[in-house]
């Protein structure tokens, strides 16, 4: 009797564990990003998805980094988000494909850039709070980022 009860208990917990894993694997957070106002149809977009740590320019601390070849003045890009939470996006139009935002001797960007929520960023990078958005479980979050050029 005790052996049977132990087997049922084990099977019961295995089923619960398996269902929990299946539910976690079924979560599907996606960002549909529409990047607009790209001036030159050349180079690549450097896109970084951040949680609060490292925003906006510490690429090593970002949650996701990707490069997308520029092929249109307005581009739609899909990003898979690892889990729900608060994020912000920083983006660079790397026209010469050297994998960085080029600046002049005064530190003014020579290439285009943008941030989620399109905050005013003419005199320095915005804060995480200004650029943050929430992605919920199984959500497709739609965002538009307008590229800024000096």
Q: What DSSP assignment string belongs to 83-129? A: SSEEEEEEEEEETT-SSS--B-TTS-BSSEEEETT----TTSPPPHH
Which of 28, 35, 31 shows the shortest CA–CA distance to 86? 31
For the chain, the domain total comes to 1
Classify each residue of 112-137 as buried b or exposed e, where b means 16 or more C-beta atoms within 10 Å of its C-beta: bbbbbbbeebeeeebebebbbeebee
Q: Please report whether residue 18 resides in a domain.
A: no
Write out the residue range of the structural domain in which residue 74 sits: 28-146
Q: Please report whether residue 88 resides in a domain.
A: yes
Q: Please report whether residue 78 resides in a domain.
A: yes
Q: What CATH number corresponds to the domain at position 115?
A: 2.60.40
Q: Please report whether residue 95 resides in a domain.
A: yes
Q: Long-range contacts for 96-100 (Cβ within 8 Å, ≥24 apart)?
A: 96/43, 97/43, 97/44, 99/46, 99/67, 100/46
pLDDT tens, position by position, for the chain (150 residues)? Answer: 555 545 544 444 444 545 444 444 445 899 999 999 999 999 999 999 999 888 998 888 999 999 999 999 999 999 999 999 999 999 999 999 999 999 999 999 999 999 999 998 777 889 999 999 999 999 999 999 999 999
Q: Please report whether residue 15 resides in a domain.
A: no
Supply the pTM of this predicted model: 0.81
pLDDT, residue 61, reads 92
């Amino acid at each position: 009797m005790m052996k049977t009860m132990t087997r049922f208990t084990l099977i019961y917990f295995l089923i619960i564990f398996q269902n929990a894993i299946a539910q976690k694997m079924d979560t599907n957070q996606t960002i549909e990003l529409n990047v607009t106002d790209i001036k030159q149809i050349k180079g690549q977009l450097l896109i970084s998805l951040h949680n609060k740590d490292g925003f906006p320019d510490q690429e090593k601390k970002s949650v996701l980094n990707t490069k997308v070849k520029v092929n249109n003045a307005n581009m739609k890009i899909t990003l898979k988000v690892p889990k729900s939470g608060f994020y912000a996006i920083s983006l660079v139009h790397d026209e010469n494909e050297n994998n960085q935002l080029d600046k002049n001797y005064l530190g003014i960007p020579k290439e285009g850039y943008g941030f989620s929520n399109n905050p005013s960023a003419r005199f320095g990078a915005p804060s995480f709070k200004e650029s943050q958005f929430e992605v919920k479980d199984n959500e497709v979050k739609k965002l538009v980022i307008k590229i800024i050029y000096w």
